[in-house]
Amino acid sequence: MKLKFLILEVFFILFSSQLFAQNELYIPRNIRSAYEKGTRSYDGKPGPEYWQNSSDYKIDVEFEPSAYLIKGNEEITYHNNSPDTLKTIVLRLYPNIFKKGSVRDYGIDPDGVTDGVSVKKLIIGKNEINLEKKSVYRVLNTIAIVSLPEFIPPKSSAVLKVNWDFNISPKSKLRIGVYDSTTVLVGYWYPQIAVYDDIDGWDFNIYSGQEEFYNDFSTFHVNITLPNNFGVWATGQLQNPEEVYSEKIYRKYLQANESDTVIHIITSDDFFSSFKNSRDKNIWKYKAENVSDFAFAISDHYLWDGVTTNLNNAEIKKVFVQAIYPAESPDFNKVAEIAKNLVNYYSKEMPGIIFPFTSFIVFNNGREGGGMEFPMMINDGSYDIYENTVSLTAHEMGHQYFPFYVGTNEQKYAFMDEGWANFLSSSYMKKMANFNSRLARNVATYENLAGTEDDIPEIIPSLSQAYGAYRNSAYDRPSVAYEILNDILGDKLFRKAFKEYINRWNGKHPIPYDFYFTFNDVTGQDLSWFWKPWFFEIGYPDLAVDKVEVQNGKATIKIRNDGIMPVPVKLTVDYENDASEALYFKADVWKSSEKVFTTEVVLKGILKQVKLGDVNIPDSNRENNLYVVH
């Protein structure tokens, strides 16, 4: 009996010490309550009471290319898995961002203003909603708040039917766009139920352009009606290829689904014979399961390449990779092969998690550079430089893991997906070339802003950040931090923790603390000394050569940390005979909050100078990084 109590006492002490260590990080009240309710755990796992909601979407949509008009009928079965009775529902009406008077983070062409979404009818259960009565249906920019005539109890479902239409602006592009007269990418387009979660309840945040995804995982059945000379490429799996492709294209489509070399499914010679024309219009039937959004692209003159890579995995054995692009594109004839190689790298090396989807599309919008991600497809511009094409493709493909496999809230914490996409891209570029230009670019961009008013800690919600601060906080600072953390832990331990985080939160909605606590749990280390400066605090990286003392054939080198960020120490010792040697110390030399690091070097000649730093290590003041012997 005494042994039993002794074991319990030891367990309590260990658990308490772990809990205390975790709680060294500041946790806001609304987030702390989730841990108290048991929806999340201090070891980084979903708590025993964790839940999240979902929807089943059935959408029939017709696109009229001449007027850029989308008309849709939609049935949504919403599953309330929460312990709460829902008295309202929040609908997202994304195209309202183009409506006159809407809040926008970016300016648009005055001729690109539209009337936004016109909701013709909304029925919830057996009740038709009075769309004119503001106490029942209130539109605030890009959301509609609907008071429910019948509440939705816990662990139950409700059916919504929506009839709506809107015109796509041919002048302005923001995740939906007209790229030429008959080529359109359609994203952020259908009435969508916002997220109701264990942290904030309903997500009432207005979509104003800068922030991106926060969606539940859902099922989509989407029928897209178009004139018979148009092709459609979309999220999910096409259910009726034999009904929409001509016999020639259908054969090549089947061939590409089995080929490990690129098949040119639609070439310039096929433009006018690609699709079935026995009727005026074709209906393209797509199905997607367990995805957080649905997007599609249409064109009547784009080329189409396809290739399949075999992963030999029990769940996803192969991935059909496709590139859709105009004939004049300077780089997209190579993109299907690039994307295929990335599927294999991400699946087998970093992060080492099998690519989440069996189909993946890279759509080329014909513009210069830039990209946007959607589940199972991305929308990229072109580059004249091959390395830039690879880097952009790698970044946007990295988003298939974040936020489309791990359902992060990019509206609040963009660093949890943009930062990881940057990191994954950088990881691949490191393998591709001896010089990792992506990492060097991330470091240079971060270094330029570090310590300025635009350098805001990641933990500050992205919604609160202006453009300059957002770019740094979402992309550059976190991706540099991930690189340094990988270096500290080593590839093997870092990847173990990274994979465990992905596996724990696949199909769920993690917050930053779930990430921090998972890494602490898996590594068996309290990494608060790293999390605090990089993710919570205002400060910058700045190392300096403090002093160099030469005596008895040895040099004692003291490096001073004038900033707060733990970064690696890289030294180059140069001799008078032009020989040199390099010394490298990981960032954990600053783990104990010491401000000076000392190392000793046995000299191999007459010391000329000591240089500190590297293009892959951020340093806000490089003018104090050189000691020259006089």
- Asked if residue 351 has a cis previous peptide bond (ω within 30° of 0), the answer is yes
pLDDT tens figures, 562-581: 999 999 999 999 999 999 99
DSSP 420-443: HHHHHHHHHHHHHSSS-HHHHHHH
- Please state, in angstroms and rounded to a whole number, the distance separating the CA atoms of residues 7 and 258: 58
Instruction: Please report the sign of the dihedral spanned by the C-alpha atoms of residue 382, residue 384, residue 390, residue 391.
Output: negative
DSSP 357-409: -SEEEEEEEEEES-EEEETTEEEEEE-SSHHHHHHHHHHHHHTTTTTTTB---
**pLDDT computed for residue 279 by the predictor:** 86
**pLDDT computed for residue 2 by the predictor:** 36
Structure tokens that stand for 617 in this block: 């290590």
> pLDDT confidence of 157, banded at 50, 70, 90?
very high
pLDDT tens figures, 455-487: 999 999 998 888 889 999 999 999 999 999 999
pLDDT of 254 over the 50 cut: yes
> pLDDT confidence of 8, banded at 50, 70, 90?
very low
pLDDT of 434 over the 70 cut: no
Domain map (residue ranges) of the chain: 54-209, 229-405, 421-536, 543-628
**pLDDT computed for residue 593 by the predictor:** 87
Instruction: Please report the sign of the dihedral spanned by the C-alpha atoms of residue 181, residue 182, residue 186, residue 189.
Output: positive
pLDDT of 13 over the 60 cut: no
Mean of pLDDT values over 323-350: 96
**What kind and span of H or E run contains 339?**
helix 335-348
- Please state, in angstroms and rounded to a whole number, the distance separating the CA atoms of residues 88 and 547: 65
Q: Fold for domain 543-628?
A: Immunoglobulin-like (2.60.40)
The answer to whether 286 and 224 are in contact (CB under 8 A) is: yes
- Please state, in angstroms and rounded to a whole number, the distance separating the CA atoms of residues 493 and 506: 20
Helices (H), 271-317: none
Nearest Cα to 473, choosing from 424, 421, 414, 425?
414
pLDDT tens figures, 90-130: 999 999 999 998 998 888 888 889 999 999 999 999 999 99
pLDDT of 10 over the 50 cut: no
**pLDDT computed for residue 315 by the predictor:** 75
- Please state, in angstroms and rounded to a whole number, the distance separating the CA atoms of residues 250 and 612: 60
Mean of pLDDT values over 568-597: 96
pLDDT tens figures, 489-511: 999 999 999 999 999 999 999 99
Structure tokens that stand for 122 in this block: 């909304």
- Residue 31's φ and ψ, nearest 5 degrees, are -80, -40
Structure tokens that stand for 276 in this block: 């079935």
pTM here is: 0.93
**pLDDT computed for residue 491 by the predictor:** 96
Structure tokens that stand for 598 in this block: 């000392």
pLDDT of 535 over the 90 cut: yes
Q: Fold for domain 421-536?
A: Neutral Protease; domain 2 (1.10.390)
Higher-pLDDT residue of 523 and 466 is 523
Give the E-state strand segments of 235-302 in sequence order: 237-238, 263-266, 281-291, 296-299
Mean of pLDDT values over 44-48: 98
Secondary structure (3-state) at 315: coil
**pLDDT computed for residue 22 by the predictor:** 47
pLDDT of 5 over the 60 cut: no
> pLDDT confidence of 7, banded at 50, 70, 90?
very low
> pLDDT confidence of 19, banded at 50, 70, 90?
very low
Higher-pLDDT residue of 435 and 269 is 269
Question: What residues pair up with 46 in beta bridges, in sequence order?
Answer: 40
Interior/surface letters 479-505, b for 16+ CB within 10 angstroms, e for the rest:
bbbbbbbbbbbeeebbbbbbebbbebb
Structure tokens that stand for 27 in this block: 């946790």
**pLDDT computed for residue 446 by the predictor:** 96
**pLDDT computed for residue 346 by the predictor:** 97
Percent of the chain whose predicted confidence (pLDDT) is above 70: 96
Percent of the chain whose predicted confidence (pLDDT) is above 90: 85
**What kind and span of H or E run contains 303?**
strand 303-310
**pLDDT computed for residue 209 by the predictor:** 86
Mean of pLDDT values over 299-324: 92
pLDDT of 21 over the 50 cut: no
Pairing of strands 359-368, 377-382: parallel
Residue 194: DSSP 8-state: P
Nearest Cα to 320, choosing from 270, 259, 271, 265?
259
Nearest Cα to 327, choosing from 251, 400, 404, 271?
271
pLDDT, the chain, mean = 93
- Please state, in angstroms and rounded to a whole number, the distance separating the CA atoms of residues 534 and 523: 18
Radius of gyration of the chain (CA): 27
Question: What residues pair up with 360 in beta bridges, in sequence order?
Answer: 321
> pLDDT confidence of 435, banded at 50, 70, 90?
low
**pLDDT computed for residue 270 by the predictor:** 87
pLDDT tens figures, 194-212: 999 999 999 999 999 888 9
The answer to whether 295 and 361 are in contact (CB under 8 A) is: no
